Amino acid sequence: MPSYTVTVSTGSQWFAGTDDYIYITLVGTERCSERTLLDKPLYNDFERGAVDSYNVKVAEELGDIVLVKIEKKKYWVHDDWYCRYITVKTPSGDYVEFPCFRWLVDDKEVVLREGKAHLPQDDKTSQVKQHRQKELDTRRKTYRKVQPTHAVFFIMFLEAEDAH
């Protein structure tokens, strides 16, 4: 029986943890897994700052995992949960990441797309890139106006410079 390892990261802010029921469904290009309750016996799942792993067994491999559906259901009282991300390890050993980075409030269902987890340092890099792109565009326009014939070379130069 193929088995997928699902790793769930809970936020480290206050009240991020939960005692609610968390169900997961893995959606692959071939088929879906069963809706599976993530629960380890004699263990307090999804506490603040925790990274918990679970096995999801399937009858047949699912193909490429493209979506992950999470459902939160009330256990005792509603207990909001901040999920950072979910990682799925496939039977062939590949890791697929599903960034979440949001609060799940009340009875809630979210569908996560595959993607690289977005870390604060990435934000910084992309902001720098955006700024650089803007600068480049402005310079491109300026050069076009001033020196139409040489503009192409300047742009090639700038782009080469930008690639570093």
**Considering the complex, what minimum distance in angstroms separates the CB of residue 109 from Ca ion?**
17
Q: How many CB atoms lie within 10 A of CB 97?
A: 16
79 assigned binding-site residue = yes
Out of 2, 5, 19, 84, the only residue in the binding site for Ca ion (CB under 5 A) is 19
* DSSP-based three-state secondary structure for 105: coil
Query: Of the two residues 71 and 80, which places its CB atom closer to Ca ion in the complex?
Result: 80
> Side-chain half-sphere of 2: how many Cα atoms within 13 Å?
16
Q: Which strand (E) or helix (H) includes residue 65?
A: strand 65-73
Within 68-87, which residues bind Ca ion (CB under 5 A)? Answer: 79-80
**Considering the complex, what minimum distance in angstroms separates the CB of residue 48 from Ca ion?**
8
What is the side-by-side order of every strand in the sheet holding 81-89? 51-57, 3-10, 81-89, 95-104
Phi/psi at 67 (5° precision):
-140, 155
44 binds Ca ion (CB under 5 A): yes
- Span from 11-19, 57-65, 103-111, 134-142 in contact with Ca ion (CB under 5 A): 11-19
Tokens found for residue 101: 């980075």
- Span from 30-38, 43-51, 53-61, 99-107 in contact with Ca ion (CB under 5 A): 43-51
15 binds Ca ion (CB under 5 A): yes
17 assigned binding-site residue = yes
Q: Can you give the binding site for Ca ion, defined by CB under 5 A? A: 15, 18-19, 44, 46, 79-80
